[in-house]
Structure 1
Amino acid sequence: MARRALILVEGSRYNGPLYVQAALQLGLHPIVLSANPAQYDYLGAEGIEAIRVDTADLDALIRECSRLHATYDIAGITSVGDSFYATVGKLCRHFDLLGPNPTSIERCCNKFTQRQLLAEAGVPIPDYRLAADAVDIESSADEIGLPVILKPAVGAGSRGVRLCRNLDELAQHTTYLLGGQHIWQSPPRILVEEFAQGPLYWVDIMGDQIVGIGTADFGPLPHFVGRQCTFPALLTDDEHERIADVSLSCLRALGLGWGPTGIEVRWTTRGPVVIEVNPRLHGTPTPQLTQLAYGIDLVTEHIKLVIGDKWDLRRRHSQTAAARFLVPDRDGTLDWIGGDSQAVAIPGVAEVKFYVEAKTPIVRKGDLQDWIGYVIAASPSRAQTEAILQHAVDIIEWSIRPFSS
């Protein structure tokens, strides 16, 4: 009998290891298709089968999956992130497997199209314009009124996203986006958006069921580098209901509702305003927070959905879980980093993860690539979790030596 395989199109240093481990625990043989498998160091560490293929070429992926089908029983095809999720949908349709609607995914992943569809459905969103050059950006910012946020119309991980509070910052970031520093996969298209001010909440959905709502804090503006995630968020019944209603409206407006969806909302003076809808789970460490707080393993449940098994979103318990991201305050060479073994030994600390090793060059970009690690803690109370987390973070230390001039 052929071995059951789960095909993963590309990977990620964030959720990638979680998907590989969940697949193995479900008795599946994970196979990663990637244009550059060497970029995912966890594959080698786990001995995971990885195949080099042009993942931007749908026909090449179909040929590779057809070849694998001669050896394996392909139980399902999915992807860790949203960049290749539309491709996954097309592959699933070709091989008659369960998967997302590729058209809906493509529309959702284009932030301008997403904004249009949400606006047409009456979903509250920030005022926005689409710009292609510096003149468009300046006139759009003038119409909306400063401060505004500039972001690529297609992208993820807060890459290229910045708050522009005055004309100097607007000009500076315009130059960054259009002057060759930002890498574009297609002709530049930039969203100019109203800055929706207020606490940020993230919503995890599977199918059409809301799993839970968390909250996130960020480092200093003008960048949006996450500093802490807490789950579940402390909300009144009315706030929870309004955020949930807006989130489900997003699914209907965008034609989603199969598989995972991650939504970001800011609570403003006019209530919940949708910042972004992503057709995927939120990245690490939010899946770990959901599992610690509610006992729900979203990665495993997503894979069950993909392979046609019965999935289960029932809560097993209720705790407060939180993650603190480790973010350097300067550029330079990382001389050393430590304290992880002592921190993880603290009762209530669930995980300590470093993304970097000694002698790594640190060059901050103002997005999630600035993270050098994280600490996760959980306990029965919010105050206790915060205290545990702070204790652990205080133990972790590192030294960064400035680059020589």
Structure 2
Amino acid sequence: MDEDNIDGVVLQLGSGFQPYRQYLLEGAARRRPLWLIDDEAVSWQQQYLAGSSVVVPLEGSGLVLDHATLLATAESVARSHRVLGVFTYDEPSVIAAALIADRLGLPGLTPAGAENCRNKVKSRQALTAAGLPQPLFAVANTAEEAAAAAADIGYPVVVKPRGMAASIGVALVDGPDGIAEAFERADSSSRSGPAEYHGGALIEECIEGPEISVDGAVVAGEYQPFCVAHKQLGPPPYFEEIGHVVDGNDPLLTDPDLRELLRAAHEALGAPNGITHTEIRFGPRGPTVIEVNGRLGGDLIPYLGKLATGIDPGSVLVDVAQGIRPELEPDHKSCVGIRFCYPPEDARIVEITVPEPGAVPGLIEAHPMVPAGATVRLPPRAHIGRHAYVICTADDPATCADRLTAAAELVELKYEALNETEFSGRPW
């Protein structure tokens, strides 16, 4: 792309893991010229970009934590190009993207709205003030405070860090014997993220019931959902997400009560513009807000939505970044799901063989996720320890789930058991 003939660019913070994120970059680039700000030189991203800036973070500070350098870089791009918007799909970059939008006078999450999404304590406080349905909760700074809070709320409880994502450090605790260990895990997990979220944990009521996630676009206060995913969790006590199913005909997309809850939650959090990923559980009291994240969903959920409806999430990202109400009319409606494969124990990968598309009815994709020689650990030693995934399509969610199970059973894994008596790495 000829840099000198660009009529405006949209800034992108971070590009992520290519197998998980390339489809977003491709869709976004079709909408507007992109300028990537990242901490590494471009490689696979080059074909989608009008330009890029490599940011060297301050010593001792990761890219996403070095807001001053990111702001200065964005301002430098704005001096030579008309900047139309800024977006990220990376959880740790949500605050930085909001600060850049605020500094350059662009649409997007406000810094306060981004902080309310990123900081789970502030989320709970804002939703409580608005009287919206959510779990009972308390903030604990010590294991003793966690035990007292859990006793007040009533077991089982969910213990989670204040600012992590992807269910890292999150655990279900059935009784007093497990609360101290769960608190220590959440507290330790929090220390790999931004300093403002270090230490302590949220102790929350466990809402029993099925869980969904909703990717939605907010422009000028108008909330529009465009992808509802039904989540499949691994065995307790951890909340490992092992699969998702997206149905283009899902009645929840147009459910008036759910849409009003989502609208009200975004209003309460101060998020009049942006892309969000909201998690909802359907418990005894009805739909309950688990969390609102200020970015698109992970786990290839938006990709499933694209396959199920034709709505391109990359294009939606760019429209919303510019303050443009996106067109969210599907061009077809089908049911698509993903299933992640985990080794039976902590493992060093020797070989992964995945089935070809069509090996079972509806199987359209199957891919390894780690190379030979990689180590993969299971909770509580690590999270998201996947070695492969399969994607299937069907006419309905039940058939899709059956096909995913059949396809996952065809993934062949050769590995060496790690048999570690101790693991000195961080448990995430």
TM-score (norm 1): 0.89
Match status 1:9 vs 2:13:
yes
The alignment partner of 1:369 has SS state of: coil
CA separation in 1, counterparts of 2:330 and 2:9? 29
The alignment partner of 2:255 has SS state of: helix
Q: What corresponds to 2:368 in structure 1? A: 354
CA separation in 1, counterparts of 2:27 and 2:250? 31
Alignment partner of 2:379 out of 349, 365, 384: 365
Aligned-pair distance for 1:44? 2.4
Alignment of 1:39-118 (within 5 A): 43-47=42-46, 49=52, 51-54=54-57, 55=63, 56-118=65-127
Using a 3 Å threshold, how does the CA distance of structure 1 residues 395 and 185 change in structure 2: closer, same or farther? Answer: same
Using a 3 Å threshold, how does the CA distance of structure 1 residues 19 and 286 change in structure 2: closer, same or farther? Answer: same
Alpha-carbon RMSD: 2.7
| 1:128-168 deviation line (CA, Å, top 9, x unaligned) | 11011111111111111111111111111111100111222
CA separation in 1, counterparts of 2:277 and 2:202? 20
Q: What corresponds to 1:158 in structure 2? A: 167
Is the CA contact 2:159–2:172 (under 8 Å) kept in the aligned structure 1?
A: yes
Using a 3 Å threshold, how does the CA distance of structure 1 residues 124 and 70 change in structure 2: closer, same or farther? Answer: closer
Q: What corresponds to 1:148 in structure 2? A: 157
CA separation in 1, counterparts of 2:122 and 2:256? 26
Q: What corresponds to 2:416 in structure 1? A: 401
Letter in 2 for 1:206: A
Q: What corresponds to 1:122 in structure 2? A: 131
Using a 3 Å threshold, how does the CA distance of structure 1 residues 373 and 73 change in structure 2: closer, same or farther? Answer: farther
CA separation in 2, counterparts of 1:129 and 1:292? 40
Alignment of 1:283-294 (within 5 A): 283-294=298-309
Aligned-pair distance for 1:181? 9.3
Is the CA contact 1:53–1:61 (under 8 Å) kept in the aligned structure 2?
A: no
Using a 3 Å threshold, how does the CA distance of structure 1 residues 300 and 169 change in structure 2: closer, same or farther? Answer: same
Alignment partner of 2:405 out of 390, 398, 403: 390
Letter in 1 for 2:378: R
Using a 3 Å threshold, how does the CA distance of structure 1 residues 133 and 266 change in structure 2: closer, same or farther? Answer: same
Aligned-pair distance for 1:276? 0.9
Q: What corresponds to 2:423 in structure 1? A: none
Is the CA contact 1:206–1:257 (under 8 Å) kept in the aligned structure 2?
A: no
CA separation in 1, counterparts of 2:253 and 2:16? 36
| 1:310-336 deviation line (CA, Å, top 9, x unaligned) | 621112111111111122221021111
| 1:292-321 deviation line (CA, Å, top 9, x unaligned) | 222111221111222455621112111111
Task: State the percentage of identical aligned residues.
Answer: 24
Is the CA contact 1:203–1:210 (under 8 Å) kept in the aligned structure 2?
A: yes
CA separation in 2, counterparts of 1:62 and 1:334? 41
Aligned-pair distance for 1:229? 0.8
CA separation in 2, counterparts of 1:44 and 1:214? 31
Alignment of 1:193-342 (within 5 A): 193-207=204-218, 208-232=223-247, 240-307=255-322, 311-340=326-355, 342=356
The alignment partner of 2:123 has SS state of: helix
Is the CA contact 1:333–1:401 (under 8 Å) kept in the aligned structure 2?
A: yes
CA separation in 1, counterparts of 2:296 and 2:273? 12
Match status 1:26 vs 2:35:
no
Using a 3 Å threshold, how does the CA distance of structure 1 residues 53 and 315 change in structure 2: closer, same or farther? Answer: same
Using a 3 Å threshold, how does the CA distance of structure 1 residues 90 and 174 change in structure 2: closer, same or farther? Answer: closer
| 1:89-147 deviation line (CA, Å, top 9, x unaligned) | 22122223222211111122111111111111111111111011111111111111111
CA separation in 1, counterparts of 2:415 and 2:353? 12
TM-score (norm 2): 0.84
CA separation in 1, counterparts of 2:162 and 2:37? 28
Aligned-pair distance for 1:222? 0.2
Is the CA contact 2:363–2:393 (under 8 Å) kept in the aligned structure 1?
A: yes
Letter in 1 for 2:365: E
CA separation in 2, counterparts of 1:115 and 1:339? 42
Q: How many residues align?
A: 398
CA separation in 2, counterparts of 1:264 and 1:292? 21
CA separation in 2, counterparts of 1:386 and 1:280? 27
Using a 3 Å threshold, how does the CA distance of structure 1 residues 226 and 307 change in structure 2: closer, same or farther? Answer: same
The runs of 5 or more residues in structure 1 that have no matched partner are none
Using a 3 Å threshold, how does the CA distance of structure 1 residues 60 and 219 change in structure 2: closer, same or farther? Answer: same
Judge which range, 91-100 or 330-339, deviates more.
Answer: 91-100
